Amino acid sequence: MAIRGIREARRNTRKIFGGIRDSADKAVVEILISGRAYTLMLTPIDTGNLANSAFIDTQSNKSGARGRFGFTAAYAAAVHEMPGTLKGKPRETFGHTSNHSDVGPQQPRAFGGGTGVGSYWDPDAEPQFVKKGFEDNVGGFDGIVMRNMKR
């Protein structure tokens, strides 16, 4: 006994699941873009290198869609974990070395570290900026998922 319509049922099932996967992919990308925007508003900016090193990466396979957000700047994790105690304080110069040593007089040199220009952190920057950028906006992400899965 032959069953009719099996091929069509399989094709329609693949089409339905393909549409769900496409919607999930779109939702993941939209969440990452939204989270990135919130995070960059909280990211400390001195030269712009940290903010400009932000990236989004997405992957999709049979088991679902995945995405990640991060920074390629080597110091990103250290800045993220800073307590922010210097927030708003001016970037002081740390002074100069003395002009003498055991071998005779030398030119004073700057200690380095403080540029003397601007303030540490931005007025809007926050410690734990990536965590806050995503976790503080979870409600908006739920809406993104709902909107994409209704399509």
List pLDDT tens digits, range 81-127.
Answer: 988 887 877 777 666 666 555 655 666 666 555 566 667 777 788 99
User: pTM of this prediction?
Assistant: 0.70
In terms of residue numbers, what domain contains 71? 8-82+124-149
Residue 98 lies in a domain: no
DSSP state of 88: T
Which is more confident, 65 or 116? 65
Domain count, the chain: 1
Residue 21 lies in a domain: yes
By DSSP bridging, strand 100-101 and strand 54-61 are: unpaired
